[in-house]
């Protein structure tokens, strides 16, 4: 709404607010909705990743427990545990080829 006050013209709207054509307003609103949807997708994906990390952490803890249980058995059998085992190498099992041990690990993973 505009009012004339003598020689000055005053505007009721904030002068810093630009006037935009309706088609640009619709396009901006559509883009805003698209971005909100994308944000929701990413939040959902982040939750799924956090859940998967929890599963991985529990699996690592279970493997650590099994390694601790195996250590005394190997020490009692005359085998020495590896000093700097970081878990990056596959453990050799007597009587199993490397492909057999990989298949066994896959079966264990599927069973859980």
pLDDT on residue 109: 52
Query: How does pLDDT run across 28-48, given as a tens digit for each residue?
Result: 999 999 999 999 999 999 999
pLDDT on residue 58: 98
The DSSP-derived string for 75-95 is HHTTPPPPTT--S-SPPP-TT
Pairing of strands 2-5, 8-11: antiparallel
Would 53 be classed as within a structural domain?
yes
Would 110 be classed as within a structural domain?
no
Q: Residue 68's domain spans which residues? A: 21-73
Query: How does pLDDT run across 80-91, given as a tens digit for each residue?
Result: 555 545 555 555
Would 52 be classed as within a structural domain?
yes
pLDDT on residue 64: 97
Distances (CA, A) of 67 to 17, 44, 55, 72, 110: 67, 35, 18, 9, 20
Under a CB-based contact definition with an 8 Å cutoff, are residues 81 and 74 in contact?
A: yes
- 110 phi, psi to nearest 5 deg: -70, -35
């Amino acid at each position: 709404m505009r009012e004339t006050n003598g020689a000055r013209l005053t505007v009721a709207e904030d002068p810093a607010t630009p006037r935009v054509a309706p088609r640009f307003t619709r396009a901006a609103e559509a883009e805003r909705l698209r971005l909100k949807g994308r944000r929701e997708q990413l939040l959902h994906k982040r939750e799924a990743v956090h859940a998967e990390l929890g599963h991985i952490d529990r699996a690592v803890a279970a493997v650590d427990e099994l390694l601790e249980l195996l250590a005394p058995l190997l020490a009692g059998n005359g085998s020495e545990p590896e000093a700097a085992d970081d878990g990056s190498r596959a453990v050799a099992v007597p009587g199993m080829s490397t492909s057999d041990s990989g298949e066994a690990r896959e079966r264990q993973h599927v069973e859980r």
